[in-house]
Amino acid sequence: MTRQYGIIGYPLGHSLSPLVHNWGFRRFGIPAEYTAWPTPPEDLPAFMDRFRSTPFAGASVTIPHKTTVMTFVDVVTDLGQAVGAVNTLCWRDGVLWGENTDVEGFCRPLVNRDLAPGTALVLGCGGAARAAVVGLTRLGVAHVAVTSRTDAKAEALAREFGIESVPWAARETYQPELLVNTTPLGMHGRFEDLSPYPGEVLTSAIVVYDLVYNPYHTVLAKAALAAGGLVIPGLEMFLYQAVEQFRLWTGRILPEEELRSLLMEALYGT
């Protein structure tokens, strides 16, 4: 029997998740398939009823359902509760769990590079920012700050997590060891020529971690490289959160170098 997995969100656009997970199923000879399930918010309750009754084997969850889907699972993991969002649904002994693999996806590239920053500034305050803040806290970063184009949102997030908020207009005065972009600025399309942080104030001492993965090097990343700094591309977070999802569902570990090559070819033709 072929197990059914998929991704729920709306709109889904061109998701790379089917490519990744179907490749993984084929590689390990697992009788499963992964499809896209576009699900408008008003259809989420009916979809979750169908998810249970079919039953589907697991799902990825993306915008706008990462928070609302939590009310439709049996258990939310500690990590999901800490972030306030889940991006993975999986079954354990007949119990439907909501998990968050974005934190693992965010942290692994930092751990792999043996980076232990003392200060970090997170640009943005959406779901990815929340995962980044939780991840940085778990990695023991002593001073974490957040900034957003809407100062009130950054202040609210800072209060929730007990961190510092920095006014957007003054963000360039905060010189962190690690700068994390969770905004869409720099993303392929109408934001591609924009940067969330003034490139002229970057130095070789600032590590830039841009969660945007298309293009591979954003305006911000190019400015960081020009300043002699280290850049962690956003593709790394996507890769490792997918690896963790696949492990939760199958117990198998996707080989990261093969997966990275697959994604590089799909996204950039290299």
User: Residue 14 has what pLDDT?
Assistant: 78
Q: What is the pTM of this model?
A: 0.95
Written as one string, the DSSP assignment of 1-57 is --EEEEEEESS--S-SHHHHHHHHHHHHT--EEEEEEE--GGGHHHHHHHHHHTT--
Question: What is the rounded average pLDDT for all residues in the chain?
Answer: 96
Q: What is the pLDDT of residue 105?
A: 97
Backbone φ and ψ of 19, nearest 5°: -60, -50
- For the cut 90, the answer to whether the pLDDT of residue 267 exceeds it is yes
The closest of 166, 169, 160, 112 to 133, measured between CA atoms, is: 160
Active site residue 153: no
Closest among 25, 6, 29 to 259, alpha carbons compared: 25
Q: Residue 172 — very low, low, confident or very high, per pLDDT cuts 50/70/90?
A: very high
Average pLDDT (118-134) is: 96
pLDDT confidence of residue 17: 96
Here the tokens at position 92 are: 């354990």
**Which one is catalytic: 25, 57, 60, 66?**
66
* Across 11-17, average pLDDT: 88
Residue 252 pLDDT: 98
Give the full edge-to-edge strand order of the sheet including 143-147.
164-165, 143-147, 119-123, 178-181, 207-210, 231-233
| Domain architecture of the chain: domains with CATH | 3-100+238-268 (3.40.50.10860), 104-233 (3.40.50.720)
- Residue 6's contacts (CB-CB under 8 Å, 6 or more residues apart) are 18, 34, 35, 36, 37, 56, 59, 60
- Determine the pLDDT at residue 13: 80
Per-residue model confidence as pLDDT tens digits over 211-254: 999 999 999 999 999 999 999 999 999 999 999 999 999 999 99
pLDDT over threshold 90, residue 270? no
